[in-house]
Chain A
């Protein structure tokens, strides 16, 4: 039945190669290379553990990205729900068999990689929602019957991730899901209402937060509250970035990060290190690379015929934007420290894997952009 809905077209291999978005690949390579240099710098200019690992992962996952790019977009469509279910199962597995680090249980030991299912869930939610809204008539979108399902689909993983606890990823998952609901055309009033509801329930939400999460949020509003505790990261990060100036301190000369004043410098605070060493100029260039990346993803959505591809690309572009924005705003002290990696730049296998996976789906949308997926 499903097979009938898909009008698969026959692409020659040359056609496929031709329709590859080379600029997108170039951008990925550019950001990937920058990330290698940045992580090399976090190790004080020594070629050791993190750099080695990061290079291996980058090459493995980039190859994976290239291979998966040739998977038909219809295949992604077909397996969208499965993807979501697998993600959910993994999240539940974490709940029982997860391994812990610094008070959080987020990972599954896969021997070659400590998988963080919540990272995969970021993509799973987007692809799942893209499929869901692909076939819903615009007239039906507003009905409660069709609204309640995605909300449930969203709440389950978010809840599981919050339990780990991982507020940042949970917010990003929710954000990506909501973005797709928005793109699908849900009446604006729902967003306004739920926004108001969130505002009203905020005191209650804060009351159920974990103490460290509360402290982080309070610290965000006043980093000097506890300059050696929760406020430490924000203050140190701002000092490092601010002292970088326009041109930066120069590669491998970022004293703040080199001297270990920066916490988690190779993961969540990689931008801080980069910004200290390359200054305002470098930061803006990196930001532009991300903007270009997002633009190319959106572009793929624009040229795709199917709603699935459009929704996926626009949703994924928004998700990338959210990751970048939340991470940078966080290290600049504009948002509380919630633990969100910078796509591609941050050291971390799961995050890189999910981004590459997401990008490969984008690429497959591009390659098979003329592929029709029936809405019936």
Chain B
């Protein structure tokens, strides 16, 4: 019985303990249930998002870049077909072996292979490695021949930037290249970037990125955990970038580049009413196509080490003293402010009796002197003495107001080119602020002949000439077609305005802001005087560019030469009086020329600068003359085209 009692006790213990365990089990199961509740009901949304991310992987497809066309819709930058070799990384078992095979087939050098390994490290295992983005046809066909031996290799027909006019437009259109980390900070690139996409590096390609880049497409694939694509579930097609329409006439641009061949310099031409830049050539130039796939070391060294500096866009980033091309503006300022009667006579006595101010001598460029000069003759024959005296009377601050108003001292194309220079129109305030020095009268005197502190870009000189030639109206220079401008209206407005009445508002000659297409002059007669003087300079005997003139009124133009010194002229130099050829290249003067054409009813302004070309009349004016003829010959075509008759192209 004792045993039985013990056994009953043992049975009870077992059962009691079982119930304690059962209670614990229920508790733990409740824990699991609440966890399930948390995951599947409370946090469901969070895990659903995570799950979709897990399941769907996106591949972005690169968009085609927008094309760039000239005024006549001729394509300046297109997308050419290229042959590429891609490697799908997750299809490759042994990367080393594959690369070795590819190396033997298309002939990669050690440097390129190193680069590929570096590139691969940055990629995710399911990414695509671009082995070459520009294979030759021969390489491409070889790859296709051996394709069965190359796991993961994918020959691809793709597009890449192509510039059919190569060297002729490098400085305007710019070029593309691989995106740098800095490029990727720009929102328009950041939003649309796809690995391997080329982005604008310079020029229109760079500043119009937003227009050109387009939108990438998205291919969504269902994938498994190792990233292998199982099926495509979505494809949003990529959108090609927008077309950018330039005001450039490629035929004239080509001709301008041809005229500049072998020289360092710039030619700019613009419509004096609409402000359309017709050509903006810079020399020497380079082939932007070389940059698309990464320029090779040899070509790069060649461009970089060229003493004529091909990479500098001389039209907008080259700074030059305007020299005598500044004189029409100085004369205009003096007339507008009523400083001087154009009939005032000053005697230029040559080098033996130079202009003297506080004991400093200022020479005219002409050794023998010009003799007795009135203002018109002083412009026509470019007499320095007359302008020394006129500048002294005018003062630098008044001159700077007019100079700035007509387009000098600020960049012309806004933020289109990140290297465009503002130039410099000095005044007393500027000198005090920038150099912490007071202004000397002698600086005013040399400023009168476009030397000294003053610095201008060729495009600014072109704009200045245009705004005098159109009768003194402010225009809006641009190189990309501006749909907001009604060209016909603008031309009519300016042509009909040309008021002879002087303005009586007192502040009209102060430093005020003038709106676009509004008059900038005070008295119409002053403008006309300057234009007439420039006519004389080109079309009358003793004029500095008389040799380059056209007698046919269709082509007849008016201009002003300039010779800009790059160093101080010493007495010894004057003694020697060497020809340009005899002077060391770097020490030769820059040759400049500004002009507008046709003289009767002008339409185009042009500026030519030949670095170290010697005198403006010999080196620059003849080029301008040739180009003017070409521009005027093409004018009718341009008018017709711009007025909607596009069939002519």
Q: List 16 A-B contacts (CB under 8 A).
A: A138-B13, A182-B17, A184-B17, A242-B51, A246-B44, A259-B225, A259-B230, A260-B226, A262-B225, A280-B36, A280-B41, A284-B36, A298-B18, A329-B32, A332-B32, A332-B35
| Min distance, Cβ B575 to any Cβ of chain A, angstroms | 83
| B11 sits at the interface (CB 8 A) | yes
| A6 sits at the interface (CB 8 A) | no
| A310 sits at the interface (CB 8 A) | yes
| A255 sits at the interface (CB 8 A) | yes
Contact B40 A239 (CB under 8 A): no
Contact A334 B11 (CB under 8 A): no
Contact A242 B33 (CB under 8 A): no
In the bound complex, residues from chain B placing their C-beta under 8 Å from that of A311 are: 14
Please tell me which one of the listed residues B13, B15, B28, B54 contacts residue A239 in the complex, with CB atoms under 8 A apart. B54
B31-56 interface code vs A (CB 8 A; 1 in, 0 out): 11101110111011011101100110
Stretch at the interface among B2-10, B91-99, B108-116, B282-290: B2-10
User: Complex: how many Å from CA A311 to CA B35?
Assistant: 31
Please tell me which one of the listed residues B17, B36, B54 contacts residue A256 in the complex, with CB atoms under 8 A apart. B54
Please tell me which one of the listed residues A138, A280, A294 contacts residue B6 in the complex, with CB atoms under 8 A apart. A138
Interface centre among B14, B22, B224 (most CB of A within 10 A): B14
Closest to B49 in A: A243
The answer to whether residues A280 and B37 also contact, given A185-B17, A242-B48, A334-B31 and a CB cut-off of 8 A, is yes
| A287 sits at the interface (CB 8 A) | yes
| Min distance, Cβ A328 to any Cβ of chain B, angstroms | 5
Interface residue ranges, A against B (CB under 8 Å): 137-139, 179, 182-185, 236, 238-246, 255-256, 259-262, 275, 279-280, 283-284, 287, 291, 294, 298, 301-302, 307, 310-311, 314, 318, 321, 325, 328-329, 332, 334, 375-376
Please tell me which one of the listed residues B11, B15, B40, B230 contacts residue A275 in the complex, with CB atoms under 8 A apart. B40
Contact A185 B14 (CB under 8 A): yes
Contact B29 A307 (CB under 8 A): no
Contact A246 B224 (CB under 8 A): no
Given contact pairs A298-B22, A307-B10, A328-B32, a sample of 18 additional A-B residue pairs in the complex whose CB atoms are under 8 Å apart: A183-B14, A184-B14, A242-B48, A243-B44, A243-B48, A245-B41, A259-B55, A259-B224, A260-B226, A261-B225, A298-B18, A301-B18, A302-B15, A310-B18, A325-B28, A325-B32, A329-B35, A334-B31
Contact A261 B36 (CB under 8 A): no
Closest to B16 in A: A185
Contact A259 B22 (CB under 8 A): no
Please tell me which one of the listed residues A179, A242, A318, A328 contacts residue B50 in the complex, with CB atoms under 8 A apart. A242
The answer to whether residues A179 and B21 also contact, given A243-B47, A332-B39 and a CB cut-off of 8 A, is yes
| B223 sits at the interface (CB 8 A) | yes
The answer to whether residues A242 and B40 also contact, given A287-B33, A291-B29 and a CB cut-off of 8 A, is yes
| Min distance, Cβ A343 to any Cβ of chain B, angstroms | 14
| Min distance, Cβ B18 to any Cβ of chain A, angstroms | 5
User: Complex: how many Å from CA A41 to CA B136?
Assistant: 50
Closest to A244 in B: B40
Contact A242 B55 (CB under 8 A): no
| Min distance, Cβ B225 to any Cβ of chain A, angstroms | 4
Contact A238 B14 (CB under 8 A): no
User: Complex: how many Å from CA A334 to CA B28?
Assistant: 11
Please tell me which one of the listed residues B40, B222, B226 contacts residue A245 in the complex, with CB atoms under 8 A apart. B40
Closest to B17 in A: A183
The answer to whether residues A243 and B14 also contact, given A275-B36, A280-B41 and a CB cut-off of 8 A, is no
In the bound complex, residues from chain B placing their C-beta under 8 Å from that of A260 are: 224-226
| Min distance, Cβ A147 to any Cβ of chain B, angstroms | 16
Contact A307 B11 (CB under 8 A): yes
| B25 sits at the interface (CB 8 A) | yes
How many cross-chain pairs have Cβ atoms below 8 Å apart between A and B?
135
B218-230 interface code vs A (CB 8 A; 1 in, 0 out): 0000111110001
User: Complex: how many Å from CA A182 to CA B18?
Assistant: 9
Contact B17 A245 (CB under 8 A): no
| Min distance, Cβ A270 to any Cβ of chain B, angstroms | 15
User: Complex: how many Å from CA A311 to CA B224?
Assistant: 47
Contact B44 A242 (CB under 8 A): yes
Contact A238 B39 (CB under 8 A): yes
User: Complex: how many Å from CA A332 to CA B39?
Assistant: 8
Contact B44 A255 (CB under 8 A): no
Closest to B55 in A: A255
Interface centre among B37, B40, B51 (most CB of A within 10 A): B40
In the bound complex, residues from chain B placing their C-beta under 8 Å from that of A329 are: 28, 31-32, 35
In the bound complex, residues from chain B placing their C-beta under 8 Å from that of A376 are: 3
Please tell me which one of the listed residues A236, A307, A314 contacts residue B21 in the complex, with CB atoms under 8 A apart. A314
User: Complex: how many Å from CA A314 to CA B263?
Assistant: 103
Interface centre among B9, B48, B54 (most CB of A within 10 A): B54
In the bound complex, residues from chain B placing their C-beta under 8 Å from that of A275 are: 36, 40
In the bound complex, residues from chain A placing their C-beta under 8 Å from that of B10 are: 137-138, 185, 307
| Min distance, Cβ A88 to any Cβ of chain B, angstroms | 26
User: Complex: how many Å from CA A66 to CA B43?
Assistant: 43
| Min distance, Cβ A187 to any Cβ of chain B, angstroms | 11
In the bound complex, residues from chain B placing their C-beta under 8 Å from that of A239 are: 47, 50-51, 54
Contact A261 B224 (CB under 8 A): yes
In the bound complex, residues from chain A placing their C-beta under 8 Å from that of B48 are: 242-243, 245
Please tell me which one of the listed residues B9, B29, B37, B43 contacts residue A138 in the complex, with CB atoms under 8 A apart. B9
User: Complex: how many Å from CA A279 to CA B47?
Assistant: 13
User: Complex: how many Å from CA A314 to CA B11?
Assistant: 12
User: Complex: how many Å from CA A236 to CA B44?
Assistant: 14
Closest to A314 in B: B18
In the bound complex, residues from chain B placing their C-beta under 8 Å from that of A236 are: 54, 225
The answer to whether residues A243 and B51 also contact, given A138-B10, A287-B33 and a CB cut-off of 8 A, is yes
| Min distance, Cβ B60 to any Cβ of chain A, angstroms | 21
In the bound complex, residues from chain B placing their C-beta under 8 Å from that of A184 are: 13-14, 17
Closest to B50 in A: A239
Interface centre among A259, A294, A310, A321 (most CB of B within 10 A): A259
Contact A241 B36 (CB under 8 A): yes
In the bound complex, residues from chain A placing their C-beta under 8 Å from that of B50 are: 239, 242-243
The 7 A-B pairs at the shortest CB distance, nearest first, are namely A242-B47, A243-B51, A185-B13, A280-B40, A260-B224, A242-B39, A261-B225
User: Complex: how many Å from CA A182 to CA B36?
Assistant: 30
Within 8 A of A (CB), among B207-261: 222-226, 230
The answer to whether residues A321 and B6 also contact, given A280-B37, A280-B41, A302-B15 and a CB cut-off of 8 A, is no
User: Complex: how many Å from CA A339 to CA B33?
Assistant: 21
Closest to A136 in B: B10
Closest to B21 in A: A318
Contact B47 A318 (CB under 8 A): no
User: Complex: how many Å from CA A325 to CA B18?
Assistant: 17
| Min distance, Cβ B201 to any Cβ of chain A, angstroms | 37
Within 8 A of A (CB), among B329-379: none
Closest to B22 in A: A298
In the bound complex, residues from chain B placing their C-beta under 8 Å from that of A328 are: 32
Please tell me which one of the listed residues A240, A242, A259, A321 contacts residue B46 in the complex, with CB atoms under 8 A apart. A242
Please tell me which one of the listed residues A255, A307, A318, A334 contacts residue B32 in the complex, with CB atoms under 8 A apart. A334
